[in-house]
Amino acid sequence: MATVKLSSGHLMPLVGFGCWKVDNATAADQIYSAIKAGYRLFDGAEDYGNEKEVGDGLKRALDEGLVKREELFITSKLWNNYHDPKNVETALNRTLADLQLDYVDLFLIHFPIAFKFVPLEEKYPPGFYCGDGDNFHYENVPLLDTWKALEKLVEAGKIKSIGISNFTGGLIYDLIRGATIKPAVLQVEHHPYLQQPKLVEFVQKQGIAITAYSSFGPQSFLELQQNRALNTPTLFEHDTVKAISARLGKTPAQVLLRWATQRNIAVIPKSNNPGRLAQNLAVTDFDLTEADFEEISKLDINLRFNDPWDWDNIPIFV
């Protein structure tokens, strides 16, 4: 399996299984099936609300000897309500308990946003709940304070690597100047409609690996209907992607995933279909041409689907 070496020294698979929107009722079976299909990286988060079920799937595979713990790479993410240093370990402990693991391989700050703390027994995961109905409330917690708490948990052996998600270049630039442990991974929305080339170049030059989420663009956010408002076809249906797909004898999904992995950007697609599970994993044994990359580069329209400005006018990407 193709891997990328992290600044922490650990190896992360270049292709994994994303747990976002995996239904609780089927999550355990999906994780188990993905392990049988050859997946070793599983990307989850506290906010996804399915870590208990994901953990059940992992435990089943481990108990049956399908895989050893050290062969798995498990990612989770610290949700916004737990940024205060005194709450970071509390949140991680809940993740570890739900996943039924002693450690996670990678733990990311999910968003550079500190919501007001909500006790686990009051609501978990809290989502956008900040203890006051639908009203947003925030805490004045600098990102470096949260990061320092994560560094201590690396030292304690509960986390192998730490990283960030949905961070901009300026925030990363500032964080690495105060960090003792450099971020190992940046996870961002990344697809041909949102390519962020300057961010990718800067981050990779810093020795920070990149994981792309929503590699299929609008396909992950159909309920938002933003693509229709902009009269933008799904990437599976775009003529450029379809032409490359036809020439290579690969699916549009495989072309989109190879577009990332060929540049050493990890991907975390998901599927409930055994055939597509296998296809999504087989995206490192063929190459796109320079001409393919040039054509795909023309698709960039800075179309972002996951934007906290839509939550409460939070200007992360402004």
Which of the residues are catalytic? Answer: 48
Nearest CA to 235 out of 211, 257, 250, 252 is that of: 252
Query: Taking each helix axis from N to C terminus, what angle separates 85-99 and 143-155, rounded to the nearest 10 degrees?
Result: 50
- Measured CA to CA, the distance from residue 142 to residue 159 in angstroms comes to 21
- Contact by Cβ (8 Å): 6, 12: yes
- Contact by Cβ (8 Å): 48, 75: no
- Measured CA to CA, the distance from residue 108 to residue 45 in angstroms comes to 9
Over the Cα atoms of the chain, what is R_g? 19
- Contact by Cβ (8 Å): 15, 297: no
Identity of the residue numbered 155: E
Backbone φ and ψ for 126, nearest 5 degrees, come out as -75, -20
- Contact by Cβ (8 Å): 202, 181: no
Other C-beta atoms closer than 10 Å to the C-beta of 197 total 9
Binding positions for substrate: 110
Range 236-247 burial, b when 16+ CB lie within 10 A, else e: bebebbeebbee
All residues at 6 or more sequence positions from 173 whose CB lies less than 8 Å from its CB, including other chains:
202
- Measured CA to CA, the distance from residue 234 to residue 145 in angstroms comes to 40
- Contact by Cβ (8 Å): 191, 259: no
